[in-house]
Structure 1
Amino acid sequence: MIDRLRKRAVVFWREQHSALLVALLLTFAVATGFELVAWRRALATNDTIELLRTGHDIQIDADARSELLFARIAFLTKRDELDQSRGLLEALDRVGDTQTRARGHYLLANALLRVALAHIERSELEAAAPFVNLSKREYRRALQLDPEFWDAKYNFDVAARLVRDFPDFERTSGDELSADPKKLWTDIPGKPKGLP
């Protein structure tokens, strides 16, 4: 029985070994082609990210890879182009992983807070109010995605203190805490009361 199976295997190999080797070679060639395409795409992505990082304005489609979307958001928020950043952030929310999405919301929140602080420096409190509230919303979204994101926690606290320091920023609805105008120290739960 074993000899018969061995003889059949030998006969099969003699008749089919060329076809099997060709099929194996084609399989390896196709797999190598796919790997080369993925490698080239990764190189192109890295080149585009580097160009964006060095200040070149390169347009990115909304269906691009999440790394490219994040790099473009970083480029735009650095230049305070908030509307374009929001559109790309929505696309990033659809395709990005949790960490990348949290970092994207954090970048937008920072840009919004920079605009608010610029208005405050010019004593334009009414113009600053919406930017402070929007930045808080974006920090909150970043913290929902990554609760351990310390920088977002810190900056959220800064934005929250702005609301307490300037009561005109208070909205009539929402989850904002009311503050006594004479109290400049925060009443956030878990924070010690007393001298700063």
Structure 2
Amino acid sequence: MIASGFPAARRPGLRPIWLRLRSPLLLVLPGLLAAAALGAVALAWRDIAANRTIAALEAGKDAAVASGALPEVLLARIRFLARRERFEEAEPLTDALDRRGPARLRGEARRVLGDARLRQAFGRLEAGDLEKAGPLVVLAREAYRRALTLRPDDWDAKYNLDVASRLVRDFPERGRTEGEEMPADPRKIWTDIPGQPRGLP
């Protein structure tokens, strides 16, 4: 190969670049590490507070929960309210869970609300109040159907949907014409429910 006679161009090494960047990096790095540490502490504190709230609600102690809370906390509050039939308070939390929660938790919330509605309906049936029991059964059925779209493998929701559907089918008032009185016999309704003739979901 014939030499050109020109000296090879000198390539700048990495050392001068590193020397120029080292000072700013040394100034910024501690701040970044401190911010990361504070973020980790904040997340840990949030999880501790969430676990305390969930434990309190599961123990039956009322605890306020904002709509921006973690999905697990929202579900715990919905369970608490459903057990006490405070459905109006549960609605905004259910909406918040629908916006941000995973399908598993959203489906469980719907099943919990369906169970509460069905328990209400059973109470009305025991009292012979079929007129008020009917809409509750319909609401329970809708909740179970929604739960199953989110969690198709939820056996409890499937079973309770079947119970609610049989209750709607076997209501004595279905065969009543307008203006015709028909004696209510809640015991007759229970006989067609398989497995638990007088139980709860």
The TM-score normalised by the length of structure 1 is 0.78
Matches within 5 A, 1:139-150: 139-150=144-155
Q: In structure 2, which of residues 159, 163, 167 is the aligned counterpart of residue 158 of structure 1?
A: 163
The answer on 1:27 being equivalent to 2:32 is yes
Counting matched residue pairs gives 172
Distance (whole Å) between structure 1 residues aligned to residue 143 and residue 110 of structure 2: 5
Could you say which residue in structure 1 is the equivalent of 2:116?
111
Q: Partner residue of 2:182?
A: none
CA contact (8 A) 1:129 1:168 kept: no
Q: Distance in 2 between matches of 1:91 and 1:12?
A: 51
Which of 51, 54, 59 aligns to 2:56? It is 51
Secondary structure at 1:60 match in 2: coil
Q: Distance in 2 between matches of 1:95 and 1:20?
A: 38
Spell out the pairing of 1:177-196 with structure 2 (5 A cutoff).
none
Residue 76 (structure 1) aligns with: 81
Q: Could you tell me the percent identity over the aligned residues?
A: 39
For structure 2, which runs of at least 5 residues remain unmatched after alignment?
A: 1-7, 176-187, 194-201
Partner residue in 2 for 1:194: none
Q: Secondary structure at the match of 1:62?
A: coil
Superposition deviation, residue 138 in structure 1: 0.5
State the structure with bigger RCO (CA 8 A, min sep 6), 1 or 2.
2
TM-align CA RMSD: 2.4
Instruction: Say which SS state the counterpart of residue 147 (structure 1) adopts.
Output: coil
After TM superposition, give the deviation of residue 167 of structure 1 in Å: 4.2
Higher gyration radius (CA): 2
1:40 aligns with 2:48: no
Q: For residues 169 and 41 of structure 1, do their structure 2 counterparts lie closer, same or farther at Cα, with a shift above 3 Å needed?
A: farther
Q: Quote the offset at 1:32 in angstroms.
A: 1.6
